[in-house]
DNA sequence: AGTCAAATAAACAGGA
DNA sequence: ATCCTGTTTATTTGAC
């Protein structure tokens, strides 16, 4: 790895490509969400779109998705038997999405890398929390819990998680200056405006993005 | 072949 | 001093 030079703290603001960071552009390409193509810029258009929102919030596609997931080869290897989308997509009332959704993850997918990008893993973790907010540490835990692959994966995956949180516009940092009781660091939540995009990506990812 | 997003690695700063 | 968290840059890889 090359040396990192010019580590200027104020890079972010000045960086020409700062608005177009790793994020949902691929989602735009994968899914058909033309509005989201402007995700780099103002993120307004997407939410305003009734049809898109409708399409994403109604759960029709979930059935399809579930079937597809079942057919997905890794599905037998410890991935959710029930798509995580079942919980995540259903609005505010949540989740009975627990361990029972998985088939002995410890044993079956210990060596299988999850077919989800880090962004989606983080998204699932956050959406799963009661408050829809999690500190990084809990995001690690959730991922480890559901995808034991990471228990034996090189430690770099945590770096990737943090990298994603930092860089991906889908995730918002929530300072918790008033309560440091729970440890250090901030809470992370999903930017609601990007949620449909993430859902869309979650729907598509396993079938269009084979792992490396 | 070129572009882009994602993954990965690493340096670095700041706080607990 | 050490660990964790967060940010940033660089490189590689694979898909389109």
**pLDDT averaged over chain A?**
59
Strand B contacted by A119 CB (< 7 A):
yes
CA of A83 to C1' of C2 (A): 41
Task: Considering all nucleic acid strands, name the nucleotide whose C1' atom is nearest to the C-alpha of residue A167.
Answer: C7
Distance from CA(A70) to C1'(B12), angstroms, rounded: 44
pLDDT at A31: 36
**CA→C1' distance for A184 and C4 (Å):** 8
Return the SS3 of A17. Answer: coil
pLDDT at residue A83 in the model: 45
Asked whether A139 and A125 are in contact (CB, 8 A), the reply is: yes
Protein-covered nucleotides on strand C (Cβ within 7 A): 4-11, 13-16
pLDDT over 60 (residue A179): no
Give the residue-averaged pLDDT of A63-79.
38
d(CA A103, CA A67): 17
What would the mean pLDDT of A177-199 be, rounded to a whole number?
A: 74
Task: List the single protein residue with the shortest CA to C1' distance from C15.
Answer: A209
Q: Which residue is nearest to nucleotide B10 (CA to C1')?
A: A1
pLDDT digits (tens, 9 = 90+) for A151-170: 888 888 999 999 999 999 89
Residues 6+ positions from A157 with CB-CB distance below 8 Å: A118, A150
Q: Which residue has the higher pLDDT, A131 or A89?
A: A131
Distance of alpha carbon A104 from its chain centroid, rounded? 22
User: How many angstroms separate the CA of A140 from the C1' of B4?
Assistant: 28
Nearest nucleotide to A2, CA against C1' atoms: C10
- Position A205 confidence tier, pLDDT thresholds 50, 70, 90: low
Strand partners, A189: A133, A172
Average pLDDT of the segment spanning A23-40:
37
Which of the pair, A68 or A164, is modelled with greater confidence?
A164
* Minimum-distance residue to B13 (CA–C1'): A9
% of chain A residues with pLDDT over 90? 17
Asked if strand B comes closer than 7 Å to A85 Cβ, the answer is no
Which runs of E-coded beta strand occur in A59-116? none
If one compares A128 and A98, the residue with the highest pLDDT of the two is A128
pLDDT score of A16 more than 60: no
pLDDT for A166 equals: 92
- Residue A110's pLDDT is 56
Which chain B nucleotides are covered by protein, judged by CB under 7 A? 4-13, 15-16
């Amino acid at each position: 790895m090359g040396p990192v030079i010019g580590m200027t703290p104020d890079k972010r603001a000045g960086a020409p490509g700062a608005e177009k960071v790793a994020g949902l552009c691929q989602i735009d390409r994968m899914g058909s969400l033309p509005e989201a193509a402007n995700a780099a810029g103002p993120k307004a258009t997407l939410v305003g779109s009734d049809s898109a929102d409708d399409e994403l919030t109604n759960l029709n596609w979930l059935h399809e998705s579930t079937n597809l997931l079942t057919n997905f080869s890794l599905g037998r290897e410890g991935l959710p038997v029930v798509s995580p989308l079942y919980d995540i997509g259903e609005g505010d009332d949540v989740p009975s999405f627990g361990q029972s959704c998985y088939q002995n993850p410890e044993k079956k997918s210990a060596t299988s890398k999850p077919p989800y990008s880090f962004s989606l893993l983080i998204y699932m973790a956050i959406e799963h929390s009661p408050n829809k907010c999690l500190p990084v540490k809990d995001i690690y835990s959730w991922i480890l819990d559901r995808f034991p692959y990471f228990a034996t994966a090189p430690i770099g995956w945590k770096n990737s998680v943090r990298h994603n949180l930092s860089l991906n516009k889908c995730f918002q940092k929530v300072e918790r200056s008033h309560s440091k009781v729970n440890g250090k660091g901030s809470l992370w939540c999903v930017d609601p405006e990007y949620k449909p995009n993430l859902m869309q990506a979650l729907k598509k990812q396993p079938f269009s993005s084979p792992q490396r």
